[in-house]
Structures are given as structure tokens and as C-alpha cells.
Amino acid sequence: MAVSNSTGNPADVVHDDPAAANINTWTEWMIPLQAFADQGINLTNVDRIAIGIGTRGNTTVSGGSGKMFIDDVRLYRQVREP
């Protein structure tokens, strides 16, 4: 997942499981927005979001086939413990 704005380079967050694209059941992936802010993204001025499969810039590994469904992309307020 990459997020960017006009102020600089995109911030990337990579799934912990390198084989995540091969999981055959619905799987939730929660990404804290702070992970993007820590990379210098101004979260009040996001103009692009990209979801990619594979390794960015690696065109030497051939792709696969199949379907991937991406749904429920949303933002949540951080829940703070009492």
C-alpha cells in the first residue's frame, strides 16, 4: 500500500507475510495511518492511494493469474484505551 501527496515521495507499507497474495480466505489488513505519517506524508493532504501486488520495480518475476477482491477501504479514529 502506498500513499502520497504533492510534497514528496510516496510512503509504502508492506504486508508482513510475503505470500499474502496467496491467502485464499478473506483477510483483514489493518494499517495504522501513523505508518505513513512516520515516513513524512502529510495526512491532511493525501492525493493518491495505490494498492499493489508484488515487489515495486521488479519486472523480472512473472505474474500469476486469478482474482483479488479489495473492499472496505476506510479510515477509523484511533481507539484509545482508558
Q: Quick one: average pLDDT of 42-67? A: 79
Q: Per residue in 28-47, pLDDT tens?
A: 898 988 999 999 888 888 88
Closest CA to 7 of 49, 45, 51: 45
Beta bridge mates, 23: none
Predicted structure pTM score: 0.75
Task: From 29, 30, 35, select the one nearest 68 (Cα to Cα).
Answer: 29
